[in-house]
Structure 1
């Protein structure tokens, strides 16, 4: 595989009346005989291919990976392209090494714009084709498109999205005990202290373990507090290193989070003491809520999938169901809505017509609605019908992302250079909950920031 920068793979954009955006390099009959059982009208624009294969890598695993495969099954049938997806919890740590060695998959679902920038700077990425960029312009905001852009070159459209500031809880417990949804951060503290004082269980359950990425759920806490305590401008200065990582405002956010994560009275409900935060997998950490062993769990909208890991519906996500979520509240009840979130950027490592056909499909409203309808996720694609979402909470999440009044900021660690956002920040969280002081941890992270 060439390790130099590649030219843009240009494809003509068809007339707006056509369904989707055409990739005209391949023509002919539908290769897959199963197409007779599928309505292929939505897929005609992508062309037909005889025995082509596209390999895909990412961090998405288990049930979510199964739903991914289902989301493009009709595309495979109608275009003749076989899509082979392989998920790995070590994807972020390994992808640059694979790319440098010429062994990267054809397509990568990169969950960090900072990592995408590193891959682009290495000359390993193929710029997005015109149909992909046209979809990004039509279906995403300028901010979202910017996350897939490096040095004025557009490399990939977003895929899915998440809102990271949810606090999951049991509606039945709240009703039984008379708890109110907190409207401010002070009210959240009061609620937590009330639950702790009752003595039945620790109020919060937390899991930071995630393989090579252990620590990232803790960074989400800090990012939520940075945005709420100091606002979007300071948040932007922080992730762009216009203020140092050991700035007093960052320390304030860490210490506010520490009132929960480093407090034996607050964690780790149903699991153990503070030390278990770094050994408990993030996928299972919230489940003690279902047993009444904790009351609160901070995790993104995508956590809906983990309440029913086998794909059943025994634990309903609804305001009157088994579990539901409220957004981490603001400092003041009348503050404008500000949320952090994340997503994936669909990048390509191989220049091929079938790769761009697949990327064009993933950037469309057709794919976004197909995947959202399968459950458990949301998308910031403006062509998504919120009612296609699988729960009341996810409908709300899509509406929040589509609301022009919402202040949205991408996950801070995902925007930072990989040496920080995917290394020292994660490791710093682990050291911090393990006993290191805020000052020690912030100084160490600041020292890791690349000089240029």
Structure 2
């Protein structure tokens, strides 16, 4: 029987700090408990069946790649992660590793990993490994005293498999603590290939081309954009992504970093300039389906659907939105719907991409924990997890042909392209009072009619 287990701890109803902003959260959490328990039974049964069918020589050959991780038989490593289908697929990707090393891996699902980690850090009840989404939380956990630096062997793998910029987000004061797990592209504009072609438009390659197409569509009586900011208690977060994308394109990564760290104030003239450019879409009633006054009430999960009926042409939303289209929708360049990378304002400055990622960090440093950390940082694990589906990584050693979805493959290509200017979601790195508070409400007020300078000044005053 496989020593790998997947469980989902019962949790009170709660909301993650950034609901749905990271990759593929939609529609999956509700069934997490049942799926987590079921995956344990299925994996155990499959492991037993595999063992019965394999010859001794065949098993030895299959387990040869895991020889370096052996020597810890009979041990258990706990992993805390978001409690949804990702846990089931992680279990699938780890099954052979667990069978061959006899390291039992207990995967605990939780609807609010960041809150749970904060509660358990420093109590002696922290998980061995945690998969967390917020770089700012990593520094906070380091301050708790029991979050461990990445072992040298893990750091070596990380440097081999990721571009340096990715590792900065998992580092504190130059020391690597957490290695990227999954990563996703947020700077996508969804569209209908057939509708765009029928209108005589090509996929825009620059910001000016995108706005020119928008104007042509509006002038002909169509609606170029769908926009929705409603997300329950997190209403407004899609607006933060819009402003972040435009800031990165207008002013480049250096100014973007200054804004994130508050080296320039939130209402700096550079931020005003970026907001004014975003306003050409978001505060333009000719461009937005239903008018800008309805943006705050339009659910972001449903707002993009009119693209399929040609009731709007573009919808800006992250790669996870591929899972929001109706069953049977073909997501491909020649399909019913696809996405292009939001174009640069100045192509000479590179191809900007706003990204999100989760990171694997450790509270334990036992040898078996290090062994699992090493494997999670390897190209072999990343390839197996990609093959399990609905997952993308910036690990540059993964064969792109393993991706089964066109949007996942495109995301991986963008993240690995040396010409891509990658920056992490700004609001996820800002203090919670801003990034998960005044920034959300400020963008909602802004599309509701408040002036740009007034909104940015109010957000600035909220900075701790």
Matches within 5 A, 1:210-225: 210=231, 213-225=234-246
Measure how far apart 1:167 and its partner are.
0.5
Q: 1:337 to 1:302 in 2, by over 3 A?
A: same
Q: 1:247 to 1:71 in 2, by over 3 A?
A: same
Q: Which residue of 1 aligns with 2:107?
A: 84
Matches within 5 A, 1:102-181: 104-181=126-203
CA contact (8 A) 1:220 1:411 kept: yes
Matches within 5 A, 1:275-290: 277-290=295-308
1:246 matches 2:246: no
Q: Which residue of 2 aligns with 1:304?
A: 322
Which structure has more helix as a fraction of its residues? 2
Matched residues, number: 408
Q: Which moved more, 1:424-433 or 1:99-108?
A: 99-108
Measure how far apart 1:51 and its partner are.
5.9
Cα RMSD of the aligned pairs, angstroms, is 2.8
CA contact (8 A) 2:394 2:416 kept: yes
CA contact (8 A) 2:190 2:316 kept: yes
Tell me how far apart the structure 1 counterparts of residues 308 and 91 of structure 2 sit (CA, whole Å). Answer: 29
Measure how far apart 1:33 and its partner are.
4.9
Measure how far apart 1:411 and its partner are.
2.0
TM-score (norm 1): 0.80
CA contact (8 A) 1:57 1:105 kept: no
Measure how far apart 1:402 and its partner are.
2.1
Unaligned runs of at least 5 residues, structure 2: 1-46
Q: Which moved more, 1:94-103 or 1:190-199?
A: 94-103
Q: Which residue of 2 aligns with 1:231?
A: 252
Tell me how far apart the structure 2 counterparts of residues 73 and 215 of structure 1 sit (CA, whole Å). Answer: 40
Q: Which moved more, 1:258-267 or 1:182-191?
A: 258-267
Q: Which residue of 2 aligns with 1:294?
A: 312
Tell me how far apart the structure 2 counterparts of residues 340 and 234 of structure 1 sit (CA, whole Å). Answer: 14
1:259 matches 2:280: yes
CA contact (8 A) 2:225 2:287 kept: yes
Measure how far apart 1:226 and its partner are.
0.8
Tell me how far apart the structure 1 counterparts of residues 227 and 125 of structure 2 sit (CA, whole Å). Answer: 36
TM-score (norm 2): 0.78
Look up the SS of the partner of 1:381 in the other structure. coil
Q: Which residue of 2 aligns with 1:15?
A: none
Measure how far apart 1:425 and its partner are.
2.3
Measure how far apart 1:100 and its partner are.
6.1
- Of 78, 82, 85 in structure 2, the residue corresponding to residue 54 of structure 1 is 78
Unaligned runs of at least 5 residues, structure 1: 1-31
Tell me how far apart the structure 2 counterparts of residues 208 and 223 of structure 1 sit (CA, whole Å). Answer: 15
Measure how far apart 1:275 and its partner are.
5.4
Tell me how far apart the structure 2 counterparts of residues 49 and 284 of structure 1 sit (CA, whole Å). Answer: 48
CA contact (8 A) 2:252 2:349 kept: no
Tell me how far apart the structure 2 counterparts of residues 167 and 400 of structure 1 sit (CA, whole Å). Answer: 14
Look up the SS of the partner of 1:40 in the other structure. helix
Measure how far apart 1:98 and its partner are.
4.4
